[in-house]
Amino acid sequence: MCFSASASFGAGIILAAVSVISIKEVRKPSQIYFACIPIIFCVQQFVEGFLWLALTKPFFAPLQQITTYILLFLSQVVWPLWIPYAALKLEKEHENIIFQRALLAIGALIAFYLGYCLLNYSVEAQISGYTISFSQNYPMKYSIPAGLLYIIATVAPPLFLTIRKVWLLSITTIISYSITTIYYQDYIVSVWSLFSLFIGVSVLVIMDEIRYPTTKNSKYYYSSDRSKNSSISNQDFKALH
């Protein structure tokens, strides 16, 4: 939820750089989904930038509907599926895999519901003050349970991963929700955009931990490049003596 087209495009450019670094940290196919989180944020920022232009510049007005739907699709359908799936692919502990699958099922449920609402109820974006607000005529009686399931699907999976520092993603997301709810309650759908840079950076920290675990408690410790490099160095040292 940036406050102008230039701010959205600027954030998108920064996130593009973050995305490149994040992808370079990938060492196993199972890590690619988590590493791609900044890329989705990047796309989201650029789409929001064009939505700003569509709402403020007559020349870009034809883009208003499609950018509105793309932005809501990413926020309401992609994220509750992507976050738990990315977490599931990282998990190595068998017992926790079952729990992560349950969270993915919750994510699939809320993504299906919000996707259905997005297709069958009217939505509209408009500028309110210095932000973009979204008018969504979804059924009010399901708004609270849908909101709770959405939070569970997007916050809980990283929080319960048995990998050190992954909780950073959940913490930054929780802070995003809290600040947005307090100060921008009518714009909660844009929570991902508001703090996308901070969440993107947290993904970099996590990817570095996965690649170079700092403690033996990490499930990735013995398979990391750092561990391999250390063993090679020890062998060379013994050979010299």
- Domain edges within the chain: 5-240
pLDDT at 77: 94
| pLDDT in single tens digits along all 241 residues of the chain | 557 888 889 889 999 998 999 898 888 898 899 899 999 999 999 999 999 999 999 999 999 999 999 999 998 999 999 999 999 998 887 778 889 999 999 999 999 999 999 999 999 888 877 778 888 889 988 888 998 899 899 888 888 887 766 777 777 777 766 666 555 555 555 555 666 777 777 787 778 777 665 544 444 443 444 444 444 344 443 443 4
Q: Which stretch of DSSP H or E encloses residue 69?
A: helix 64-73
For helices 94-120 and 79-90, give the axis angle rounded to 10 degrees.
170
pLDDT at 218: 47
Strand pairing partners for 135? 124
C-alpha distance from residue 83 to each of 59, 151, 191, 213, 233 (Å)? 36, 11, 15, 21, 37
* Residue pair 51/43 in contact by the 8 Å Cβ criterion: no
Cα–Cα dist 116/32, whole Å: 28
Place of tokens 């990047």: 42
Q: Does the predicted TM-score (pTM) go above 0.85?
A: no
CB neighbour burial string for 224-233, b if at least 16 within 10 angstroms, e if fewer: beeeeeeeee
pLDDT at 83: 92
Cα–Cα dist 96/90, whole Å: 11
Closest C-alpha among 171, 152, 188 to residue 80: 152
